[in-house]
């Protein structure tokens, strides 16, 4: 009897495998949205996702396909503002690779912040954002949604998917694409757009640094985006210095030299900045080359700035997610006032590269990363597997896979002890 029972189970298992493997392809109603701040990856993400979904339909992996674009992120989901794109333009979407920004618009909306959504007119009295969004996705017949955004965007999508399953018995597969120039998402090795933003930030400063020749004893602070992580500041400094080392300078007899155009300090959240000690060191640089150039991460020293504002009874501005509005508290201005006196600057210039860098089109490095993740992301969606695409640093070999949403978390710090960054600090005299 034991043999017959095992034999029966073996046959049943084979039948189930055969049935599963021969299941007909499904009609896929796919949606896409971009959310949060801009990054040099949004347009390419949309382009590659359309490309691989179209390829799946041509290959017969799916029986039919519709692709809906929700405009302005979660705002579009809540208001029903969307469009289904024509199959006739699937192939033409490759032109999006040449564009920066988002081809379908972004917004910052938190689906669990009822008060904010009501104040902005996205929901009515008595509604909740989650229920409103769920009803819209159900109405549109969506079974897969690609959320292209940072950790907030993707974890919100996971909450929405769970809500639809528990409250409405439906399933929406959520496949996120990790966009953030901060490169600060656990457990993803490299987020989309960060490398391009660093490259663009170095191009920005290559022009700005020329202002040091416009006035004697000039202090230039290059403020780079990065709330919790100094990655972007460090990577931008690295790319800029690679260029300056390859640049030919003439001398003696000219005031513009490699040292006058070099970076003299890199301040990031992961390094404690002793402003007095740095002022003393940089005063010597000012006396020698007539200028001081500082790369400052916007998140550096924010704790001190907030403490000072609160001590003075001032309100600290925050967004819908509770993040401090760094643009409004101006870390660059805060540090420039203190450092200018210490180094004897006659003129101070604070320049922010963030909006310039984040609005660029993806470079070759990011396009390759986005393409690989989009291809795997479409495969995961067809298989019914939700997650945020990326190189999983917790798995051996850091494979690209749909990383479980419960493991996705922002606020990852830059590894300040990495060899190339420590070498950079030594070369500029900061370590």
| Residues designated catalytic | 182
Euclidean distance between the first and the last CA atom of the chain, given in angstroms as a whole number? 76
What are the structure tokens assigned to 102, written together?
């988002």
- Within 10 angstroms of residue 166's Cβ, the number of other Cβ atoms is 9
Separation between Cα atoms, residue 376 and residue 372, nearest integer Å = 6
């Amino acid at each position: 009897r034991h043999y017959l029972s095992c034999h029966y189970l073996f046959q049943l298992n084979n039948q189930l495998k055969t049935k599963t493997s021969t299941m007909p392809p499904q009609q896929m109603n796919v949606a896409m949205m971009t959310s949060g701040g801009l990054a040099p990856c949004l347009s390419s993400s949309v382009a590659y996702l359309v490309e691989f979904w179209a390829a799946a339909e041509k290959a017969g992996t799916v029986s039919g396909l519709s692709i809906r674009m929700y405009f302005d992120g979660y705002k579009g989901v809540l208001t029903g503002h969307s469009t289904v794109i024509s199959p006739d333009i699937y192939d033409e979407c490759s032109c999006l690779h040449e564009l920066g920004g988002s081809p379908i618009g972004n917004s910052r909306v938190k689906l669990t912040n009822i008060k904010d959504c009501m104040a902005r007119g996205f929901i009515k009295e008595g509604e909740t954002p989650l229920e409103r969004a769920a009803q819209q996705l159900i109405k549109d017949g969506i079974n897969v949604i690609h959320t292209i955004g940072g950790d907030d965007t993707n974890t919100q999508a996971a909450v929405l998917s769970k809500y639809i399953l528990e409250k409405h018995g439906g399933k929406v597969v959520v496949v996120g694409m990790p966009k953030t120039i901060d490169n600060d998402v656990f457990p993803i090795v490299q987020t989309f757009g960060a490398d391009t933003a660093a490259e663009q930030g170095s191009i920005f400063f290559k022009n700005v640094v020329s202002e040091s020749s416009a006035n004697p004893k000039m202090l230039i602070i290059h403020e780079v985006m990065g709330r919790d992580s100094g990655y972007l500041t460090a990577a931008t400094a690295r790319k800029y210095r690679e260029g300056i080392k390859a640049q030919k300078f003439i001398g003696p007899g000219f005031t513009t030299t490699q040292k006058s155009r070099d970076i003299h300090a890199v301040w990031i959240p992961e390094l404690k900045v002793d402003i007095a000690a740095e002022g003393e060191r940089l005063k010597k640089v000012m006396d020698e080359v007539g200028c001081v150039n500082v790369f400052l991460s916007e998140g550096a020293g924010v704790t001190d700035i907030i403490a000072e504002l609160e001590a003075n009874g001032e309100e600290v501005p925050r967004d819908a997610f509770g993040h401090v509005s760094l643009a409004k508290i101006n870390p660059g201005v805060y540090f420039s006032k203190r450092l200018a006196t210490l180094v004897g600057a006659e003129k101070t210039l604070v320049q922010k590269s963030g909006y310039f860098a984040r609005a660029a089109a993806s470079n070759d490095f990011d396009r390759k990363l986005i393409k690989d993740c989009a291809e795997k992301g479409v495969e995961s969606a067809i298989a019914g597997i939700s997650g945020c695409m990326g190189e999983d640093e917790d798995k051996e070999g850091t494979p690209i896979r749909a990383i479980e949403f419960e493991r996705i978390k922002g606020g990852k710090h830059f590894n300040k002890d990495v060899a190339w960054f420590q070498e950079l600090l030594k070369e500029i005299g900061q370590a």
